[in-house]
């Protein structure tokens, strides 16, 4: 997998084109906003009948990220499931898959606004986690420093050669790093949105995901 090297609070991090983040110094892989079970949740609430393949696709990509980095620790940064009921609706195959991915490594579930953490699926369940200089939580806090979060599903547009490409992206400034959504059925919030443009500092960069991740100044305004 291709990656871009980032620094937050002096810590070397690798942002992968898949949307996963790897911290070599802690052998920690971090992903955010898996939103497993979104198609089931939408159907359960009377919405559109989406193809129910997002769990398989998301877990396939998560397994690929684990195989590529061989982490000792995996941290799921909140909204791992689309709601609490989606955990109970998991098919046995998906439960076995997650159990296999957890084997032999430490696994952290951070609470999100969609789910409190999937109790009963192994791992440790926390509101937030501090490791070394970095604090991991689901939603960024104004004024926080050395913070890694998710929640916003950021995306940014790259214009060039008569084409405009919009991709999920990491956002990073001197104080914080926001991860893109890793789940298959997840939308996104443009970096130009006030919720992000006011949160991120003037030095903020966007790391566009995809086969060839690319770092650009964070798009703002307009």
DSSP secondary structure, 175-204, as one string: SEEEPPP-SSS---EETTSHHHHTTS-TT-
User: Is the confidence at residue 179, as pLDDT, over 80?
Assistant: yes
CA dihedral 155, 160, 162, 167 (to 10 degrees): -20
Confidence of residue 159 (pLDDT cuts 50, 70, 90): confident
User: Is the confidence at residue 39, as pLDDT, over 70?
Assistant: no
> Does residue 108 or residue 44 have the better pLDDT?
108
Average pLDDT for 13-28: 98
Handedness of CA 27, 31, 32, 36 (dihedral sign): negative
User: Is the confidence at residue 190, as pLDDT, over 80?
Assistant: yes
Question: Given the structure tokens 């769990």, which residue do they identify?
Answer: 55
Gyration radius of the chain's alpha carbons = 17
User: Is the confidence at residue 193, as pLDDT, over 80?
Assistant: yes
Q: Lay out the sheet containing 11-16: strands in order across.
A: 3-8, 11-16, 21-23, 28-31, 73-76, 106-110, 124-126
Q: Are strands 106-110 and 124-126 parallel, antiparallel or unpaired?
A: parallel
Confidence of residue 119 (pLDDT cuts 50, 70, 90): low
- Domain parsing of the chain, residue ranges: 5-9+11-217
> Does residue 45 or residue 28 have the better pLDDT?
28
CA dihedral 171, 118, 38, 80 (to 10 degrees): 10
Tokens of 134: 């970095």
What pLDDT, on a 0 to 100 scale, did the predictor assign at position 5? 97
User: Is the confidence at residue 44, as pLDDT, over 90?
Assistant: no
What pLDDT, on a 0 to 100 scale, did the predictor assign at position 129? 97
What pLDDT, on a 0 to 100 scale, did the predictor assign at position 103? 96
Is CATH 3.10.450 correct for 5-9+11-217? no
Confidence of residue 92 (pLDDT cuts 50, 70, 90): confident
What pLDDT, on a 0 to 100 scale, did the predictor assign at position 100? 96
What pLDDT, on a 0 to 100 scale, did the predictor assign at position 58? 92
User: Is the confidence at residue 38, as pLDDT, over 60?
Assistant: no
Residues of the chain above pLDDT 90, percent: 68
């Amino acid at each position: 997998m291709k990656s871009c090297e980032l620094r937050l609070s002096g810590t070397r991090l690798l942002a992968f084109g898949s949307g996963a983040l790897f911290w070599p110094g802690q052998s920690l892989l971090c992903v955010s906003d898996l939103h497993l079970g979104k198609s089931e949740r939408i159907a359960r609430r009377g919405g559109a009948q989406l193809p129910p393949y997002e769990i398989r696709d998301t877990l396939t990509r998560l397994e690929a990220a684990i195989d590529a980095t061989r982490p000792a620790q995996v941290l799921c940064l909140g909204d791992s499931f689309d709601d609490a009921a989606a955990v109970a609706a998991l098919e046995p195959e998906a439960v076995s898959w997650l159990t296999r991915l957890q084997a032999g490594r430490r696994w952290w579930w951070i609470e999100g606004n969609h789910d409190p953490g999937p109790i009963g699926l192994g791992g440790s369940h926390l509101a937030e986690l501090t490791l070394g200089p970095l604090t991991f939580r689901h939603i960024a806090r104004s004024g926080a420093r050395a913070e890694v979060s998710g929640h916003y599903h950021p995306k940014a547009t790259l214009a060039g050669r008569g084409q405009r490409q919009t991709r999920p992206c990491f956002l990073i400034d001197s104080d914080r790093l926001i991860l893109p959504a890793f789940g298959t059925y997840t939308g996104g919030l443009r970096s130009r949105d006030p919720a992000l443009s006011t949160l991120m500092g003037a030095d903020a960069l966007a790391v566009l995901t995809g086969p060839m991740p690319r770092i650009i100044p964070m798009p703002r305004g307009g």
